Structure 1
Amino acid sequence: MYHRLQVFLLLFFTFVAFASDAWILWATLVIFLSMLFLADLLFMDASQFKYNPDYKNWARSVDPRY
């Protein structure tokens, strides 16, 4: 559901950017939102990306032989 909303916003602001005289402002917003969407697809899934700055805590939760 969340990804559908992101894609809808990207498409909406893309059409706004092409229809507006101030297209550079809207194009910048589209680029920003598309980078957030790409980062969301790549890194924000809980099973794919775990950030823990303390190595021992990270190793305990990830490494089965710890």
Structure 2
Amino acid sequence: MKISASNQLKGAIVEIVKGATTAHVKLDVGGAIVTSAITNAADVELKLPVGQQAYAVVKASDMMIAID
């Protein structure tokens, strides 16, 4: 697969929590946990197992930084 998005975080799936319509997929990316909400249909289509390597692909027009 090739994709134009530059913000790709490679990690391992550590947990998948299925809800009524969405699945929350948690990736361990270098010790940090990143969570993505995908449709249950996408979860079934991708056949995601815990332990599989995957990418969190972030596509956004803006990203802000905040401090206290």
Give the TM-score category using the shorter length.
under 0.3
Higher relative contact order (CA 8 A, sep 6+): 2
Higher helix share: 1
Scaled by the length of structure 1, the TM-score of the pair is: 0.16
Structure showing greater Rg: 1
Length-normalised TM-score, structure 2: 0.16
